[in-house]
Structure 1
């Protein structure tokens, strides 16, 4: 039984890696770095490249952890640490309840699993909410910035105008960018910090546009209008993809929930079988196999959904 379980786990992980490598989309950072390598102008000492792409997207591991923590606190809003502590306490209490009522295993292992899973789900929820807010606010910010530039405002004042007029996370970031630029901070540092706080592809392209315009000049109004149109087309494609895969995603969620619902029902209607699965060593092998199969299957479906074009 043990070798069969191990074979299933190894085979599932190998299949998952193969699917993700075959179907994954081209990452933005890889694209920008490849574009910089292939199309880098043959610069001399007097003519330098307008945009240092690596300075915008390149971060060390410690920097990523640092900005992730700052973004998490910002997403939680006021009293962020208090909310985080309350969340962890509730997760521990929930783990204790489920362990006493259903699992009856090692409380430390169950609590650790609950903390990891709930923390991941919570961070995903906050990130999706922030991304949705960005997608709704950023086109409005681009339109306002285009109007300000068309009326004769400078780029720095146009950024500050957007931050002072709009509300929300995008407006606060524009306000910070405008204040830092007016104080004389290097544009490269300002844009690099902004990209770390808003790590979205469209914002990367927007920052690259601003950086190039500040270095070389150009028709900023037309470029921003094209970028806004591109964002609209991307959102339309994403909504179409979401509509086409809605049935498959719903079916996957139902199929993934059936084993756990069955275990909960069995806890009350068939206690002897439930005790066999939870207490007997042979029953626990079946339980572990079910968890591993569910985990691998969900990962494969998740990878296929993300790579859908």
Structure 2
């Protein structure tokens, strides 16, 4: 396999490294375990299936599909599109699911052709195509994570509003309406949907579980659980919410502390990954006679490829070390 490491290939490798660092290292260092989220989603699906009343999310999707043309409706009903549509909705975007898939495919083809034209190297063209395919979904995933983080940041304030509304004598459903009117998106929008769900006729349990389905968050689960337990057993909900609010704020303080302590690790990841490229440029301008041995001999090219693979594995390994799951 003859691989030429020209300027285009070099800058492509630098771009891939920065891309992997941006999406691999710049991540929340404090999050929820995947197994916990999967168990939560599975439990919610079981609850939805055991009920004879459709969830409001299904009704909203049916209304959303009716507004589309026949061709777009058929594309949106393809297998997997509903899951992508929910993924997009959680990110706060309004693009149709099939359009996101088409954009990803077009980027994949365009990136692969462009890299092949300039480098004539099919492995790099394949990598560029895969990155082009993943880029739209990674962008939506990042926006989704930001929206979830923003929701969690707004949740203590929303809980305080609900607590004060309850102390003033308002019913719980009306306190949700106050939050929807008083706070910005995303929490205002989601609590507004929950208030509409209660007005639609669902009981409190299904409405709160619907909120948790739309915003799968451990922080929100603590709030939902406290409301549902109080409904079953009784007690002063305002006092319970006050304690929940303090716990959530303490969780955020711990999160900021962990983020500060892990800053050195993230900086080390950037330095360790970009130093080889910096040395390559330095040697190119100071002693260019050394480079042909590396980039022209078969052994040297194999070493470069092995180094790129090891660097990629190292990025994701550092990401795994830095991210604390709870």
Q: Shared fold by TM > 0.5?
A: yes
Q: Is 2:308 the counterpart of 1:291?
A: yes
Match of 1:175 among 192, 196, 217: 192
- What residue is the counterpart of 1:304 in the other structure? 321
What are the equivalent positions in structure 2 for 1:177-216 lying under 5 Å apart? Answer: 177-216=194-233
Q: Is 2:87 the counterpart of 1:71?
A: yes
Aligned with 1:153: secondary structure?
coil
What are the equivalent positions in structure 2 for 1:79-94 lying under 5 Å apart? Answer: 79=95, 84=100, 89=106, 93-94=110-111
Quick check: 183-192 or 114-123, which moved more? 114-123
Contact 1:138 1:170 in 2 (8 A): yes
Which deviations, in whole Å up to 9, do the C-alpha atoms of 1:84-117 show, x marking residues without a partner?
Answer: 4557645654554445445732576234321355
Quote the offset at 1:77 in angstroms: 2.6
- What residue is the counterpart of 1:254 in the other structure? 271
Contact 2:177 2:191 in 1 (8 A): yes
- What residue is the counterpart of 1:221 in the other structure? 238
Structure 2 Cα separation of the partners of residues 271 and 76 of structure 1: 53
Quote the offset at 1:254 in angstroms: 2.0
Quick check: 201-210 or 127-136, which moved more? 127-136
Give the paired residue count.
265
- Unmatched 5+ residue regions in structure 1? 1-23, 34-51
Q: 1:291 to 1:306 in 2, by over 3 A?
A: same
The alignment's TM-score, normalised by the length of structure 1, stands at 0.69
- What residue is the counterpart of 2:74 in the other structure? none
Contact 1:55 1:192 in 2 (8 A): no
Q: 1:234 to 1:179 in 2, by over 3 A?
A: same
Q: Give the alignment's Cα RMSD to 1 decimal.
A: 4.1
Q: 1:243 to 1:263 in 2, by over 3 A?
A: same
Which deviations, in whole Å up to 9, do the C-alpha atoms of 1:124-162 show, x marking residues without a partner?
Answer: 421331133113311211111111111111111111221
Which deviations, in whole Å up to 9, do the C-alpha atoms of 1:157-189 show, x marking residues without a partner?
Answer: 111221122220111111111111122114343
Structure 1 Cα separation of the partners of residues 274 and 224 of structure 2: 43
Q: 1:266 to 1:80 in 2, by over 3 A?
A: farther
Structure 2 Cα separation of the partners of residues 135 and 126 of structure 1: 14
Contact 2:194 2:208 in 1 (8 A): yes
Quote the offset at 1:250 in angstroms: 0.9
Q: 1:73 to 1:261 in 2, by over 3 A?
A: farther
Aligned with 2:170: secondary structure?
coil
Contact 1:160 1:178 in 2 (8 A): yes
Contact 1:71 1:197 in 2 (8 A): no
- Unmatched 5+ residue regions in structure 2? 1-29, 49-78
Structure 2 Cα separation of the partners of residues 226 and 32 of structure 1: 27
Q: 1:305 to 1:291 in 2, by over 3 A?
A: same
What are the equivalent positions in structure 2 for 1:101-116 lying under 5 Å apart? Answer: 101=118, 104-105=121-122, 109-116=126-133
Contact 2:223 2:244 in 1 (8 A): yes
Aligned with 2:221: secondary structure?
helix
Quote the offset at 1:232 in angstroms: 0.9
Aligned with 2:91: secondary structure?
helix
